[in-house]
């Protein structure tokens, strides 16, 4: 009987040691992403490459490449960290879960740092401020000149985006059409499958430039949380500090505006 008690005690003690070891390993795994990135010599950035001029696909010397404003930002961060850059093109609504499960190291995809998103990830300083706009067919520019005019209509927005929330909160009885790729939403607008599309203003401008049959509505969307930031896994203050340092450097040198101008010029050649 005593022998059994001793064995049980030893088993419990061993289990405690193993548990402690697992906790220690877990703590290491949950360390600052900065150390992990430096150790592997590579940073993996997740984005959705259907959002010109932020990020988009383009053929270059017969090769399909992802280019754009956010790519320039990502390249500068990788350069400052002295690591290789890997880009992962993903569905926009899967980016947050990919970051929290370590499939990617950063999200640089024109993402607005909403309070809801801040519950699962941390955000950098704002690196670009862009207003919101309503995109319609040019022939309907006068017809759909307000949110009220779109009551009960099919209105598009990117799945998982802040624009989807804007539509839901401001257009009464809207039949919201959600797709992952903004390019597909633009095609839906052109083919009259939807009546309007809410996107960031710079994206709307680019869509109009490449599609003369479309127009940006004169309606001004009142949205206070304007601006985009880079998402970082929680509890990674060193990585967040490095990201913010790069953003500040680019802003001080006037490169943020230059990157956007360059991306706009590049996106204008798509058609």
Residue 210 CA, chain-centre distance (Å), reads: 23
Residues 71 and 117 in one domain: yes
Does 124 share its domain with 249? yes
What CATH number is attached to the domain comprising 41?
3.40.190.10
Domain that holds residue 81: 33-129+227-267
Is residue 141 within 8 Å of 217, Cβ to Cβ?
yes
Classify residue 4: in a domain, yes or no: no
Establish if 164 belongs to a structural domain: yes
- Residue identified by tokens 């340092």 is 245
Q: What is the mean pLDDT of residues 180-200?
A: 95
CA dist 223 and 71 (Å) reads 26
Give the total number of structural domains in the chain. 2
Within a domain: 173 = yes
- pLDDT tens digits, residue range 50-78? 898 999 999 988 899 999 999 999 999 99
Reported as a single tens digit per residue, the pLDDT across 165-187 is 999 999 999 999 999 889 999 99
Instruction: Answer yes or no: do 237 and 118 share one domain.
Output: yes
Residue 74: inside a domain, yes or no? yes
- For residues 42 and 104, membership in a common domain is answered with yes
Planar angle of CA 246, 248, 254, nearest 5 degrees: 105
Q: How confident is the model at residue 226 (pLDDT cuts 50, 70, 90)?
A: low
What is the pTM assigned to this prediction? 0.75
pLDDT in tens, 77-131: 999 999 999 999 999 999 999 999 999 999 999 999 999 999 999 999 999 987 8
Q: Are residues 145 and 78 in the same domain?
A: no
Q: Are residues 157 and 203 in the same domain?
A: yes
User: What pLDDT is recorded for position 9?
Assistant: 41
Predicted local confidence at residue 22, as pLDDT: 40
């Amino acid at each position: 009987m005593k022998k059994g008690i001793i064995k049980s005690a030893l088993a419990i003690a061993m289990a405690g040691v193993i548990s402690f070891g697992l906790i220690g390993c877990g703590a290491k795994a949950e360390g600052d992403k900065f150390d992990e990135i430096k150790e592997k010599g590579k940073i993996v950035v997740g984005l959705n490459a259907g959002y010109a001029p932020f990020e988009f696909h383009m053929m270059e010397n017969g090769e399909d490449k992802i280019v754009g404003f956010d790519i320039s930002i990502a390249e500068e961060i990788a350069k400052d960290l002295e690591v290789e850059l890997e880009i992962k093109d993903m569905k926009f609504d899967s980016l947050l879960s990919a970051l929290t499960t370590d499939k990617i190291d950063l999200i640089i995809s024109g993402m607005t740092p909403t309070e809801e998103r801040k519950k699962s990830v941390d955000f950098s300083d704002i690196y670009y401020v862009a207003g919101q706009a309503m995109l319609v067919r040019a022939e309907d520019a006068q017809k759909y000149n307000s949110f009220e005019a779109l009551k009960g209509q099919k209105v598009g927005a990117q799945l998982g985006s802040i624009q989807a929330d804007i539509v839901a909160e401001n257009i009464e009885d809207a039949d919201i059409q959600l797709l992952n790729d903004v390019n597909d939403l633009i095609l839906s607008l052109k083919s009259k499958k939807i009546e309007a599309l809410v996107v960031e203003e710079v994206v709307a401008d680019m869509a109009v430039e490449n599609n003369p049959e479309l127009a940006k509505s004169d309606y001004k969307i009142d949205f206070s949380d304007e601006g985009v930031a880079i998402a970082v896994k929680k509890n990674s203050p060193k990585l967040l500090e490095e990201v913010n340092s790069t953003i500040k450097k680019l802003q001080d040198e006037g490169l943020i505006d230059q990157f956007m101008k360059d991306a706009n010029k590049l996106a204008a050649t798509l058609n």
